[in-house]
Chain A
Amino acid sequence: MSIEINGQTIETDEEGYLTNLGDWNEDIAKVLAEQDELELTSNHWEVINFLREYYDEYQIAPAVRVLTKAIGKKLGPDKGNSKYLYDLFPYGPAKQACRFAGLPKPTGCV
């Protein structure tokens, strides 16, 4: 599978995650979100940017609780909960937000 963007072809796996994480840019995130009929707002970007920063440091997406805590610290306690994150990313903050952020899909019993 692949997506077309600005005349370029970007490869994805069968679930829509980028094959080469280095291909990622903000336009790609927008296209991936459009596939799920979502428009990325500044609230989405807060999460996506945090995921990418965490991934840079740890080579894995943060645990859901690490993410909620970080978002709560940044945007206020009313947003530091999984309900807020599920409202933003209905298919789950771990999987859907990782896809938009160009990170691999979390695997296992999750």
Chain B
Amino acid sequence: MAKFTVPVIAEYLETPKLQPDVMQGAGPFVAKPDMQKALGFPEQLVDDWQHVALDKMGELLKKYRSLQVYMDACVKCGACTDKCHYMLGTGDPKNMPVARQDLMRKVYRRYFTLAGKYFPKLVGAVDLTESVLDDWYNYYHQCSECRRCSVFCPYGIDTAEVTMAAREILASVGRGQKYANEIIGKVYTIGNNLGLPEPALRNTLEGLEEDIFDDTGVAVRLPLDEKGADILLVTPSADFFAEPHVDGLMGYAKVFHQMGASWTLSSHASEAANFGLFIGSYDNMRRLTLRIREAALELGVKRIIFGECGHAWRVAYSFLNTLAGPFDFLDPRYPIPQHICEYTYDALQAGLLTFDKSANDHRVVTFHDSCNVARASRMGNMAGGQFIIPRALIKASCNHFHDMAADTIHDQTFCCGGGGGLLTDDLLELRVKGALPRMQALKQVVEQHQVTHMAAICAICKSQFSKVLPYYGFEMDQIISVHQLVGDALVLTPSE
């Protein structure tokens, strides 16, 4: 099946034997000129790229004081070296977070520190040559910005920010990544990552309404562009298109139905995902986020709720207000924004939902914490709510739940292997290898507790696992949406 060697799952997760440069390569496909242009980047590698890159780096060091700290603070203690799933899956030492960061740090030292300017060899500083730029492009696309290494860093260095800065510099000299940049362009022209136009979206939603009716005999609606609705649901467009995402979408609709909520989707903001985060571009992140504000104003909603999408929730939870606020036109009695899991959890706590857990008795479930939710946001009003709430929803819907090993969940969760703009077929080898730590933990609960399904609340995680599970001997449909479990067990009452 694979043109590369799939790692073998051992009894315990072992630090692999180092294989220098084993993941050396050209990196993912480079963005085409029109894709670059649409995002405000040069169409191809500019002639004086070295100057442009260093100017950009200087600008970012001033703009993000954190980046300056991360460049200076690392003491090479090594705590991060065996924490990265790509390092564990590939054995390439440049995938040790410290080494990947140092690709930028050694350039930083050369041009931005006194010692590096005069005694580069003494301090391991190097010129920004084309081969260094190539290494950046390759290895900064072998980081999913998942921030697991940062959990273990005694200085709190955020590797994701270093990766984002590197990618922003790369895009600014004309070396953007095709996957991310093409997708951002589609949101600008059509409204979502998929390029799903309004008529197709409407047709798809009508089909899903039919499906729910056929399954349950209850008329559950999936409204689109309905002015005057109370709630705007913003969800990843994969929820309209892919499996098992679509079952999660139907789950949200069932919860709204049962709550008697007035809600709508928007064709203008038909995308929760914000790939501007992945490429480190504040301008693009803002432009993407503004669509949500525009839709909320246009439709006159009172609340904004986000569907199951990991980094969408990070952008929404951490940056929505600064990027596109103020949201003083929304109802202040509810969180701005709110996560669909919070919404369902509140309804559950208030005793407004009835579950028939036996509907999920054919499933033994575990939960995969998605990195951006686990390590960069929160849910509810309690510490660790982002861990507690999705599990509470699963336990309310299922009789059989088992967590994976403690050092692979909560804030120590392993990335699915496809996050941060790496969910593209040209990086399949990296994705399969990077999934190893999660697959190892899954195998353990499959053997110990006969787990049949792993639930997730992120579109990328769901697509990534559908693709890579078979490489490790699992079935592609063993990944499932949390709101599918909710929707399957929720007792529906017919509309009046």
**Which residues on A are within 8 Å of B, measured CB to CB?**
14-15, 57-60, 62-66, 69, 82, 86, 92, 94-95, 104, 106-110
Contact = CB atoms under 8 A, between A and B. Distances in A.
Interface string B303-347: 000000100000000000000000000000000000000000000
List the 9 closest A-B pairs by CB distance, nearest first. A108-B193, A109-B459, A58-B200, A109-B238, A110-B242, A63-B241, A108-B194, A109-B460, A60-B200
B425 interface: yes
- Most B C-beta atoms less than 10 A away, residue of A60, A62, A108: A108
Interface in B225-243: 236-238, 240-243
B243 A60 contact: no
B241 A64 contact: yes
A109 B236 contact: yes
A49 B282 CA distance: 42
Contacts of B241: 63-64, 94, 106, 108, 110
Interface in B413-466: 423, 425-426, 459-460, 462-463
B195 A109 contact: no
B197 A64 contact: no
B397 interface: no
B466 to A, nearest CB: 9
Interface residues of B, number: 39
Given A15-B425, A82-B243, A60 B196 contact: yes
Contact of B199 (A58, A64, A107, A109): A58
Contact of A108 (B200, B236, B425, B426): B236
A66 to B, nearest CB: 6
A65 B194 contact: no
Nearest to B207: A66
A92 B466 CA distance: 10
Contacts of B246: 63-65
B29 A63 contact: no
B203 interface: yes
Given A15-B426, A108-B237, A109-B236, A64 B203 contact: no
Interface string B355-371: 00000000000000000
A107 B183 contact: yes
Contacts of B194: 60, 106-108, 110
Nearest to A68: B243
Contact of A60 (B195, B236, B309, B459): B195
Contacts, number: 88
A63 B236 contact: no
A65 B208 contact: yes
Interface of B: 29, 179, 182-183, 186, 192-197, 199-200, 203-204, 207-208, 211, 236-238, 240-243, 245-246, 273, 309, 423, 425-426, 459-460, 462-463, 467, 476-477
Most B Cβ at <10 Å: residue of A86, A92, A107: A107
A62 to B, nearest CB: 8
Nearest to A63: B241
A14 B246 CA distance: 29
Contacts of B273: 108-109
A34 B245 CA distance: 31
A66 B459 CA distance: 19
A30 to B, nearest CB: 22
Contacts of A94: 241-242
Contacts of A57: 199
B367 to A, nearest CB: 19
B182 A107 contact: yes
Nearest to B423: A109
A94 B204 CA distance: 15
A11 B72 CA distance: 48
B139 to A, nearest CB: 21
A59 B197 CA distance: 7
B423 to A, nearest CB: 6
Given A107-B194, A108-B194, 8 more contacts: A60-B196, A62-B204, A63-B241, A63-B246, A64-B243, A65-B207, A82-B243, A108-B273
Given A107-B186, A108-B192, A109-B238, A69 B197 contact: no
Nearest to A15: B425
B193 A109 contact: yes
Contacts of B179: 107
Nearest to B247: A65
Contacts of A108: 183, 186, 192-194, 236-238, 241, 273, 459
14 contacts: A15-B426, A58-B203, A59-B197, A60-B197, A69-B207, A82-B477, A95-B425, A107-B193, A108-B183, A108-B193, A108-B236, A108-B241, A109-B463, A110-B242
A66 B209 CA distance: 12
A77 B148 CA distance: 45
A63 B460 contact: no
Nearest to B205: A63
A104 B195 CA distance: 10
Given A69-B207, A82-B243, A110 B238 contact: yes
A13 B212 CA distance: 39
B284 to A, nearest CB: 16
